Amino acid sequence: DAGVTQSPTHLIKTRGQHVTLRCSPISGHKSVSWYQQVLGQGPQFIFQYYEKEERGRGNFPDRFSARQFPNYSSELNVNALLLGDSALYLCASSFDTGGSGELFFGEGSRLTVL
Amino acid sequence: QQPVQSPQAVILREGEDAVINCSSSKALYSVHWYRQKHGEAPIFLMILLKGGEQKGHDKISASFNEKKQQSSLYLTASQLSYSGTYFCGTDHQGTYKYIFGTGTRLKVLA
């Protein structure tokens, strides 16, 4: 079975631009969460979606938004990019919501903002 | 409040044991442990739930002290493949809003 897939794997943007990152969860998984990981640090929680509804949001500005589609894939959008948005963006899927199941991470989308 | 992990870094020889600790300032619902190799995605190692339930790989063991809000990951007879950065992920409300710890860099030498 395919794991969590993310696209694009690498991208370079300039300040002020907009970016859309995509994630396809493992088949059968209904929950998708997004994390930002800056080099040398642990992943920081951005959003969690379950059954197309937002179930949680981390301490990120409104420039960050996300959505989940009927097929459970998800998009993360970041507007008005700042240099500080440069990071690895990880998507993780899980079968359900709640803290009792493992997260399966994708390889991530590495965003560089110039 | 980000969980604090200790030690920050550790170097081992193959076959040696190591313990990685994770301490939270808030009550925990569950603790997850993940290992991340450079340039790769984190992979799941272990989950410990409030009440004592554990799920994970056979060669990994961990403890969860609910009162002390702490968890420890035990790596025995380390192998070269154990090298990487270990993160604990703490969940306070029974959701997937994990707060990941500060990380522990582990390197196993031949």
Q: Any idea what the CATH number is for the domain that residue B94 is in?
A: 2.60.40.10
Cα gap B3→A108, rounded to integer Å: 23
Domain ranges of chain A: 5-113
Order of strands, sheet of B4-6, starting from the edge strand that comes earlier in the sequence: B4-6, B18-23, B70-75, B61-65
CATH architecture, range A5-113: Sandwich (2.60)
Mutation for A interface: B29, B48, B98, B102, most A CBs within 10 A: B98
Q: Which residues contact B39 (CB under 8 A, 6 or more apart)?
A: none
Residue B94's pLDDT is: 63
Residue B55's pLDDT is: 74
- Is A103 an 8 Å CB contact of chain B? yes
Helix, strand or coil, per DSSP, at residue B44: strand
The total domain count for chain B is: 1
- For residue A69, what pLDDT band results from cuts at 50, 70 and 90? very high
In this complex, which of B34, B94, B100 lies closest to A99 when CB atoms are compared? Answer: B94
pLDDT at residue B58 is higher than 80: no
CA B25 to chain centre: 16
- Is A100 an 8 Å CB contact of chain B? yes
Residue B105's pLDDT is: 97
Q: Determine how β-strand B43-49 pairs with β-strand B30-36.
A: antiparallel
Residues A31-66 have pLDDT tens digits of 999 999 998 888 999 999 988 999 889 999 999 999
- Mean pLDDT for B57-86 is 89
Q: Hey, how many other C-beta atoms are within 10 angstroms of the C-beta on B91?
A: 21
Tokens of A58: 């981390």
- For residue A17, what pLDDT band results from cuts at 50, 70 and 90? very high
Picking from B82, B7, B97, B71, the residue whose alpha carbon sits closest to that of residue A43 is: B97
What are the distances in angstroms from CA B59 to CA B12, B70, B78, B85? 17, 21, 10, 17
Residue with tokens 């079968």: A95
Q: Hey, how many other C-beta atoms are within 10 angstroms of the C-beta on A83?
A: 10
Q: Determine how β-strand A10-13 pairs with β-strand A109-113.
A: parallel
> What is the domain extent for residue B59?
4-109
The rounded mean pLDDT for chain B is 88
In chain A, the residue whose alpha carbon lies closest to the alpha carbon of B101 is A42
